[in-house]
């Protein structure tokens, strides 16, 4: 459970205890969509790059290899060999972003698989059953991630339905645990705040779900195309209504700068595909900004990706070598790049925690918020 250790303005330094280990917050979760980190990283590699929480995608795993197979193999921990906390999303976001021919009803959503087109139904109960089979540490409630921009009327109805779905998620998880059907009998449930960029809907919905006394609360439906300032405004508007004694997770965010600004606004937990995706394109995070390793100036550069970084990649390999790997389409380039970028993110969050411990997070944020997102 979440313990608030200290604050600096809205920023929070905390600790989140789970049956799979304690998460020091603020923290960044490393995305392993189909039970594997892109770029060829295994669960053991995650240990080397300071990962605290692995995130897997319910939608992808339901389609392939199937959550019942994962259950039969003992759940995600045994399947992937990652023994730390695992968060599974609800599938909602992918149903609304990847699948085609969606039909939303009160019961749930019918959609076609993006892999083979077959028709699938997923509602709150199905999402909970799948996540119970996956055996994650933290399950996310099934929600509708509304497109941005949206009509106020549609968003309002959708929010109300997401709250009803959340209650059904809570009930179904309780039943699954009661009947011994959850691979992890201590599985936690996080609710999700929605409401597009409408402050009134965001606040109203947050108040409603706060009353359900869940294990944590997320802000969803952001970083989906709205201006960054809108995102910060929504966080600032919602935050006062989020329970102080519960962990807070901003879904799918973001750049290092986004993360610093969101911590300053009271967020504890993050996830994003960006560091791994950027790495695969040769864009590497450094403490001086983002470099593109394909740039000709690195052709004979013997220095590491980031001279200030002590990750396994920077301790050993030169920009020149990694650039060559990218130019020659060698998979090793992807792997080294992803390792570096994830290590950078995990270290960034570690340094945020250190700054919060030392009471100088504001100075840290001011120094790095802009520079880390700049391309150099």
Q: How far is the CB of 36 from its own copies (least distance, A)?
A: 4
CA triple 18-22-25, angle to 5 deg? 115
Is 67 labeled as catalytic in the residue annotation? no
Q: Which residue, 74 or 240, has its beta carbon nearer to its own copies?
A: 74
Q: Which is nearer to its own copies, 253 or 334 (CB)?
A: 334
Q: Which of 231, 245, 233, 237 is nearest to 205 (CA)?
A: 237
* Residue list 300-319, contact with its own copies (CB under 8 A): 300, 302, 316-318
**Closest residue by Cα to residue 189 from 219, 158, 217:** 217
Residue 325 touching its own copies (CB under 8 A): yes
Query: Among 45, 67, 268, 271, which one carries the catalytic annotation?
Result: 271
Give the active site residue among 89, 215, 268, 306: 89
Q: How far apart (Å, rounded) are the C-alpha atoms in residues 332 and 326?
A: 8
CB closer to its own copies out of 343 and 361: 343
For the chain, the farthest-separated pair of C-alpha atoms sits apart, in whole angstroms, at 62
Closest residue by Cα to residue 358 from 2, 3, 4, 6: 6
User: Which member of 79, 165, 198, 345 binds its own copies (CB under 8 A)?
Assistant: 79
Under the binding rule (CB under 8 A), the answer on residue 118 touching its own copies is: no
Task: Say whether 266 sits in a helix, a strand or coil.
Answer: coil
Neighbours of 293 (CB within 10 A): 24
Gap between the Cα atoms of 293 and 327, Å rounded: 10
Instruction: Tell me if residue 271 is catalytic.
Output: yes
Q: Which of residues 137-196 bind its own copies (CB under 8 A)?
A: none
What's the min distance (Å) between Cβ of 173 and its own copies?
25
Contact 107, 123 (CB under 8 A): yes
Residue 244 sits in the site that holds its own copies (CB under 8 A): no
Binding site for its own copies (CB under 8 A): 34-42, 44, 60, 64-65, 69, 72-74, 79-81, 299-300, 302, 316-318, 320-321, 323-325, 327-328, 330-336
Residues with a known catalytic role: 89, 271
């Amino acid at each position: 459970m979440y313990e608030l250790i200290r604050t600096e303005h809205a920023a929070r330094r905390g600790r989140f205890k789970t049956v799979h280990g304690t998460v020091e917050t603020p923290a960044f979760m490393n995305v392993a969509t189909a039970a594997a980190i892109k770029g060829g990283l295994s669960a053991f590699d995650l240990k080397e790059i300071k990962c605290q929480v692995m995130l897997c995608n319910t939608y992808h795993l339901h389609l392939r290899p199937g959550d019942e197979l994962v259950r039969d193999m003992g759940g995600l921990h045994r399947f992937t060999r990652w023994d730390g906390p695992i968060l599974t999303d609800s599938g909602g976001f992918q149903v609304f972003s990847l699948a085609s021919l969606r039909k939303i009803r009160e019961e749930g959503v019918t959609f076609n698989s993006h892999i083979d087109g077959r028709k699938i139904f997923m509602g709150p109960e199905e999402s909970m059953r799948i996540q119970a089979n996956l055996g994650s540490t933290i399950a996310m409630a099934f929600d509708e991630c509304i497109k941005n921009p949206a009509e106020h009327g549609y968003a309002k109805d959708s929010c109300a339905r997401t709250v009803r779905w959340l209650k059904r998620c809570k009930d179904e998880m309780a039943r699954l645990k009661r009947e011994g059907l959850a691979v992890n009998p201590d599985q936690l449930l996080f609710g999700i705040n929605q409401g597009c960029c409408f402050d009134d809907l965001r606040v109203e919905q947050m108040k409603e779900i706060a009353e359900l006394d869940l294990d944590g609360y997320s802000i969803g439906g952001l970083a989906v195309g709205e201006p960054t300032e809108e995102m910060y405004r929504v966080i600032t508007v919602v935050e006062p209504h989020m329970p102080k004694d519960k962990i807070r997770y901003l879904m799918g965010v973001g750049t290092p700068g986004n993360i610093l600004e969101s911590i300053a606004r009271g967020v504890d937990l993050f996830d994003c595909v960006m560091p791994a995706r950027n790495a695969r394109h040769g864009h590497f995070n450094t403490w001086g900004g983002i470099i593109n390793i394909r740039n000709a100036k690195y052709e004979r550069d013997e220095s590491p990706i980031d001279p200030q970084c002590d990750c396994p990649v920077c301790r050993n390999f030169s920009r020149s070598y990694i650039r060559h790997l990218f130019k020659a389409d060698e998979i090793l380039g992807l792997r080294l790049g992803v390792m570096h970028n994830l290590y950078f993110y995990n270290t960034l969050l570690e340094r945020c925690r250190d700054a919060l411990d030392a009471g100088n997070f504001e100075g840290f944020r001011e120094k790095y918020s802009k520079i880390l997102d700049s391309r150099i």
